[in-house]
Amino acid sequence: MIKIQRILCPVDFSEASRNAVRYAHEFAKGMGSSLVLLNVVEPRPMAVDMSLSYVPLEEDLEKAAREDLEEIIKTEREQGVEVEAEVEIGTPSEVIISKSRERDVNLIILGSHGKTGLSRLLMGSVAESVVRKAACPVLIVKAEEKEFIEENE
């Protein structure tokens, strides 16, 4: 029997990651698992001109992410899911892998934007890197995929 005790679900607040949270919710409810939400704030490149005042600082992005995660936490807890959230600064794939080991998760549920070709080559693929390096199973939820979770009305 497979026992999933802790699920890690990285969240970047995109449509793909919101879909991943929905899947993580269903897995957590169905298996009695706890859920760890993770937002990773990427540090600004050092070469960025500091006179660009419209570029938010990592601390500002971290604060905004914590506030946005609170809404998700509240909803999950109201629906009976044991959930906690963390915000880290770093390279997304590295932080996700590190956090999955640190928190001893049994499953990572991750949204993917489904970029291909040149855009994937230039930007890299967090999902692909996590799949290759994770020590546990990884479920990839695509942004534009057939939905298998029914909405309760």
When divided into structural domains, the chain yields a total of 1
138-142 and 34-41 as β-strands: parallel, antiparallel, unpaired? Answer: unpaired
- pLDDT tens for each residue of 87-128: 999 999 999 999 999 999 999 999 987 555 554 444 458 988
**Parent domain of 57:** 6-45+53-142
Would residue 80 count as lying in a domain?
A: yes
Would residue 150 count as lying in a domain?
A: no
Residue at 35: amino acid letter: L
Would residue 131 count as lying in a domain?
A: yes
107-112 and 6-10 as β-strands: parallel, antiparallel, unpaired? Answer: parallel
Tell me, what CATH number does 108's domain have?
A: 3.40.50.620
Write the CA distances from 20 to 44, 58, 62, 74, 145, integer angstroms. 26, 24, 21, 17, 11
Would residue 65 count as lying in a domain?
A: yes
41: β partners: 89
Would residue 109 count as lying in a domain?
A: yes
- pLDDT tens for each residue of 4-30: 999 999 999 988 899 999 999 999 999
The DSSP secondary-structure symbol of 145 reads S
Would residue 38 count as lying in a domain?
A: yes
| 39-65: average pLDDT | 74
Would residue 71 count as lying in a domain?
A: yes
- Report CA Rg, the chain: 16
